[in-house]
Amino acid sequence: MSTILVVDDDAAIRTVVAQALRRAGHDVSVADSLAQLERALAVSLPDVIVTDVILPDGDGIDHVRSISARFPLLPIIVLSAQNTLTTAVRAAEVGAYEYLPKPFDLDVLARAVTGALARGGMVSDDDLRDEDRALPLIGRSAAMQDVYRVIARVVSNDLTVLISGESGTGKELVARAIHDLGSRNAAPFVAINMAAIPRELIEAELFGHERGAFTGAATRNAGRFEQASGGTLFLDEIGDMPMEAQTRLLRVLQSGEFTSVGGARTIRVDVRIVAATNRDLSAQVASGQFREDLFYRLNVVPIELPALRERRQDIALLARHFLDQAAVQGLPRRQLAGDAMTELGAHDWPGNVRELENLMRRLAVLARDEVIGADVIRSMIGTSGASAQSIDVDIGHAVRALIERIAREDPNALDDGTLYDRVIGDVERPLIEVMLARHGQNQLRAARAMGINRNTLRKRLDTLGIDMAEAIRVDDASRR
């Protein structure tokens, strides 16, 4: 539960605001003066402060400046009856997260609080104050503060950034933050994932192709470089880029221009490059899989994202954030009991923030009670949770790798109309095998459990060539 401190000398407003925020699921405490506010801060830091401007012992806005200086990560929402532009500008100048003129709609306040919580832990920076550009990066740990410092350093220039970190640590989110906070934010942010595109298509995807450049190229296509013109190009999973494409990319980065596949025109583009990898690129350089010169060209400003297990103090903040987000999206509102937080804190999170996010969404959907206890967390992480997590984390990669493998083994397979059946067949086979095993190889029960017709299952067994000899052995054994 997030903690909100409401400061207002008007008892009626204090009560109404506190009630509304409690209804929205927050833990609310109140103060009627700056002195009481200071006493409350001395005891513990809330997640958000909501304060009036005119208080009996001073000016709330002046006080925001002092609080922001001491606690730069603490979002403050200012409420004021002085509906002047000057008050709004003053509130922004002193670093208030939001300014709401009185009278305000309680829903608007609740939304501002949710926004402030989602922003919690981000560096205090005037650029961040624009609603549209509010950052989704959560975390107050020292490791994340280091990340924020580097982001703050690169938003005002075009230096190339290389983000490394395990899968699900937020690399793409950081890349987007660099774009959104920089001067290129009116132009597009274009992402391309090297692991998701068959190797032979990567160059056409990056640099575009002319009509008729290869089979299937019916029209001229602008590549991602051109699409990102004036903006940011995010090269995800750069460690998966084939050698030839690396050579071409290096040339483009050096010269700022390229020709599309099958084209004679030279295209000049102005893009900022942010690359990311979950592999050890220097090891790939050492083993000759990644060009050393390209590595140095990309690694101008390195950002290393910590694994979630290395910043356990952020787990509670993130967990609450994802539950709030689920509630905002219309899923039931859930809270975590103290022992549930302890349980989350002890888990190792191999899938990092993505795993935590998926678990919170599943809890929002599946948990029976509003307050979730440690036992529920244990059962979700320990059993189906653990395996489902790894599926959530890996399924996209697995399918992409599968497409790549098929393309490598048989390049025609990408065009000959068989790809859908091959990929679905490879995904379906383990599903059927697992379900048959689970139901003692009984086809009727396995089909029912999967929600398909028994005849459909029979046909799929035939098509996929799944051997039922095992089933007969199991059936025989059970009959004996």
Q: Which is nearer to ligand ATP, 115 or 208 (CB)?
A: 115
Q: Which residue in the set 38, 172, 426, 475 belongs to the binding site for ligand ATP (CB under 6 A)? A: 172
307 binds ligand ATP (CB under 6 A): no
Shortest Å, Cβ 55 to ligand ATP:
34
Q: Which is nearer to ligand ATP, 173 or 474 (CB)?
A: 173
Look up residue 274 and give its DSSP letter.
E
Shortest Å, Cβ 379 to ligand ATP:
23
Shortest Å, Cβ 326 to ligand ATP:
12
Contact pattern for ligand ATP over residues 230 through 249, marking x by CB under 6 A: ------x-------------
Q: Which is nearer to ligand ATP, 95 or 168 (CB)?
A: 168
Shortest Å, Cβ 168 to ligand ATP:
5
Q: Which is nearer to ligand ATP, 352 or 441 (CB)?
A: 352
Helices (H), 287-383: 292-298, 315-328, 338-346, 352-366, 374-382
* Ramachandran assignment for 268, one of left (phi > 0), alpha (psi -120 to 50 degrees), beta (any other): beta
Shortest Å, Cβ 138 to ligand ATP:
4
Shortest Å, Cβ 82 to ligand ATP:
35
**Phi, psi dihedral angles at 259 (to 5 degrees):** -115, 145
Count of CA atoms in the C-beta half-sphere (13 A) of 6: 24
Shortest Å, Cβ 149 to ligand ATP:
15
Shortest Å, Cβ 451 to ligand ATP:
28
354 binds ligand ATP (CB under 6 A): yes
Peptide bond into 72 cis (omega under 30): no
Stretch that binds ligand ATP, among 26-34, 69-77, 353-361, 369-377 (CB under 6 A): 353-361
Residues binding ligand ATP: number (CB under 6 A): 18
Shortest Å, Cβ 67 to ligand ATP:
24
Q: Which is nearer to ligand ATP, 147 or 204 (CB)?
A: 147
Q: Which is nearer to ligand ATP, 167 or 335 (CB)?
A: 167
125 binds ligand ATP (CB under 6 A): no
Shortest Å, Cβ 458 to ligand ATP:
38
Closest CA to 351 of 401, 313, 394, 304: 394
Shortest Å, Cβ 396 to ligand ATP:
8
**Phi, psi dihedral angles at 397 (to 5 degrees):** -60, -40
Q: Which is nearer to ligand ATP, 210 or 314 (CB)?
A: 314
Q: Which is nearer to ligand ATP, 37 or 138 (CB)?
A: 138
Q: Which is nearer to ligand ATP, 106 or 152 (CB)?
A: 152
392 binds ligand ATP (CB under 6 A): no
353 binds ligand ATP (CB under 6 A): yes
- Give the relative orientation of helices 374-382 and 352-366 as an angle to the nearest 10 degrees: 120
- Give the relative orientation of helices 315-328 and 106-119 as an angle to the nearest 10 degrees: 140
Contact pattern for ligand ATP over residues 39 through 78, marking x by CB under 6 A: ----------------------------------------
Stretch that binds ligand ATP, among 153-161, 352-360, 414-422, 443-451 (CB under 6 A): 352-360
For ligand ATP, the binding residues in 132-171 under the rule CB under 6 A are: 136-139, 165, 167-171
Shortest Å, Cβ 18 to ligand ATP:
28
Contact pattern for ligand ATP over residues 356 through 375, marking x by CB under 6 A: -x------------------
Which residue, judged by CB position, is nearest to ligand ATP in the bound state?
Answer: 170
Q: Which residue in the set 68, 232, 278, 389 belongs to the binding site for ligand ATP (CB under 6 A)? A: 278
Residue ranges that bind ligand ATP, judged by CB under 6 A: 136-139, 165, 167-173, 236, 278, 318, 353-354, 357
